[in-house]
Amino acid sequence: MSVQHHRIHFAEHLDLSAAAVRDGSTLHMVRASGRAVQLDLPPNWLSLWLPLRGPLRLEAADSAWDLAPGHLQVWRDSRLRSSARGPCWWLCLCGPDTAWKPHLDGAPQAQGNDLFPWEGAAPREASRLLVRLGRLDARPNELSANGPTLLRTLGALLRDEQRDLLERLPRCSGRTLRRRQQTLLRLLRVQHLIRRHPDVRLDLGRLARSASYSPCHLIRIYREVFDETPTEYAARLRSDRAWRMVRDTRMPVCEITEALGFESQSAFCRAFKNSFGVTATQARRAESARIARGRAA
């Protein structure tokens, strides 16, 4: 098994683009700590990112976002750069498909052995495995003996986390598995753009261009796979965010309106009432009453 370890510290920059040309059979385990640390990955590499302390900034071709500590990011699309504005300690396991393939084989035939872009709270066992792999640079004998098993276990855990997503793969257009996987990857690119711009109403044309579809084709195929249109998905995310901001913060309604990109406070209030059946004020009063009852008990 070929895993190359890298350590980068304060203000250091590691670019693995050259490794993509030089060797397609090596996985790279990167351990980083400190401020202003940067890592550049070439396009189409499969990478796993796990901040352990402090938020990690990730920048792709058309978006940038912060990954919170304890959250796991699976990425396999455009070129990706990481940075950390403040103190941060993080891990990244990355490499081309040819390097990952031996450790992802064994998936159901209908799904293939790909992992798709995904983000969420890191499963405890996946975090433990990544940390253990990161520490094996000082123990080459253990890496050689146990590394393949650790990587296969990690791949199985991540496929299980993507179970709901992979169940949508048969809905994707394409005569072959590879074509259906490419369709799903394009749609996930659209979903990622929407999720990472919660305060902006993205133009449907821009979303369609990111997936290399026409707007009409994007709407049709997105609905077939996810049971809603991109616009409906964006509206649902915005409604969920509005509910959390109203219930969980003391932000004035005018600031929530601006943060969510509504054209006016009255438009926000109408949308909130239509979505939840109560006004923002009623929702806050209900939450305050619930907290008071909990304290009294």
Q: How many CB atoms lie within 10 A of CB 130?
A: 22
d(CA 180, CA 111) in angstroms, rounded, equals: 10
**Sequential pLDDT tens for the chain (297 residues):** 588 999 999 889 999 987 766 667 889 999 999 888 999 999 989 999 999 999 999 999 888 999 999 999 999 988 999 988 788 999 999 999 889 988 886 655 445 567 899 999 999 999 999 999 988 887 777 777 778 889 999 999 998 889 889 899 999 999 999 999 999 999 999 999 999 887 777 889 999 999 999 999 999 999 999 999 999 999 899 899 999 999 988 899 999 988 888 888 998 899 889 989 999 889 888 888 888 787 776
Q: Which residues pair with 33 in a beta bridge?
A: 89
Which pLDDT belongs to residue 119?
92
DSSP structure string for 50-70: EEEES-EEEE-SS-EEEEPTT
153 CB-near residues (< 8 Å, 6+ apart): 125, 129
Calpha distance 95→240 (Å, rounded): 35
3-state secondary structure of 46: strand
Q: In terms of CATH, what superfamily is 3-166?
A: Jelly Rolls (2.60.120.10)
User: What does the domain layout of the chain look like in residue ranges?
Assistant: 3-166, 170-227, 234-296
Alpha carbon distance 207, 205 (integer Å): 5
> What is the reported pLDDT for 143?
72
> What are the residues facing 30 on neighbouring strands?
6, 92
Give the closest residue to 98 by CA, choosing from 163, 46, 164. 46
Residue 110 has a pLDDT of 47
pTM: 0.86
Q: What is the DSSP string of 60-127?
A: -SS-EEEEPTTEEEEE-SS-EEEE-SS--EEEEEEE-HHHHHHHHTTS-TTTTT----EEEEPPHHHH
Instruction: Quote the pLDDT of residue 14.
Output: 94
Class of domain 234-296: mainly alpha
Q: What is the CA radius of gyration of the chain?
A: 22
Tokens 């510290």 correspond to 9
pLDDT at 111: 55
